[in-house]
Amino acid sequence: AQSVTQLDSQVPVFEEAPVELRCNYSSSVSVYLFWYVQYPNQGLQLLLKYLSGSTLVKGINGFEAEFNKSQTSFHLRKPSVHISDTAEYFCAVSDYTGGFKTIFGAGTRLFVKA
Amino acid sequence: EADIYQTPRYLVIGTGKKITLECSQTMGHDKMYWYQQDPGMELHLIHYSYGVNSTEKGDLSSESTVSRIRTEHFPLTLESARPSHTSQYLCASRPSGISYEQYFGPGTRLTVT
């Protein structure tokens, strides 16, 4: 069965510092991986996705993530964060079992300080 | 740009009332979903639909029901609201094919007193 673990519930970081939000998944088959962002009082929106091909995926707002099959990880990174990046970030996994339903992690709250 | 709408955005209602949360999308997506979201928790899938007249229960047991009479509309109904239903409800849709990402509405925050 699929599962997603986001290893940090909260990540405080100073503005212009780099950040990494960690995500590990469990699946016995090939997977599709996603990172979503949720700003206060809004729904989730897609940051980036991995379907196949290059393991380094670039997304919106300067974020990127690296798919590591051997470590079953899909960590999200940004080299320099802004105050406006303060939000909740969700890692998600989907595969062809279960009708391509998506399993979401519990979220990581990124708090960028001035 | 994704166009998926949810109404109301906020709702405070008394125990025992019947409520319907509305969700509409203008993208022609076949697949639609309802999630329940509580702080610090995973999004839990409560209902989904793969097309008109198709509805399925999700992984989280829910006392709600859904219908899918039109492609664009996927309302969720609670026949008798209880305080345990207090939560944020998110509606999402996605296209068929290989892309698989979901487009989310802004959510309905429900409080049952």
From residue B105, how far is each of A83, B78, B93, B108 by CA, in Å? 24, 19, 9, 9
Q: Tell me, what's the pLDDT at B42?
A: 82
Give residues with Cβ within 8 angstroms of A83, minimum separation 6: A15, A112, A114
Query: Structure tokens of A103?
Result: 């399993």
In chain A, what residues touch B106 (CB-CB under 8 Å)?
41-43
- Pick from A80, A88, A83, A82: which is nearest to A10 by CA? A88
Residues 65-94 of B with CB under 8 A from A: 90, 92
In chain B, what residues touch A42 (CB-CB under 8 Å)?
106-107
Residue B43 has pLDDT above 60, yes or no: yes
Cβ–Cβ pairs < 8 A, chains A and B: 56
Percent residues over pLDDT 90 in chain B: 81
**Chain A interface disruption, residue of B5, B10, B43, B99, most A CBs within 10 A:** B43
Does A104 sit within 8 Å of B100, measured CB to CB?
no
Query: Structure tokens of B72?
Result: 């664009």
Residue B96 has pLDDT above 90, yes or no: no
Question: Would you give the distance in Å from CA A29 to the centre of its chain?
Answer: 19
**Which residue among B41, B45, B98 places its CB closest to the CB of A51?**
B98
Binned average pLDDT, 10 residues per bin, chain A of 114 residues: 89 97 87 93 92 92 94 96 97 77 91 96
- Pick the range with the lowest mean pLDDT from A80-84, A87-91, B42-46, B80-84: B42-46
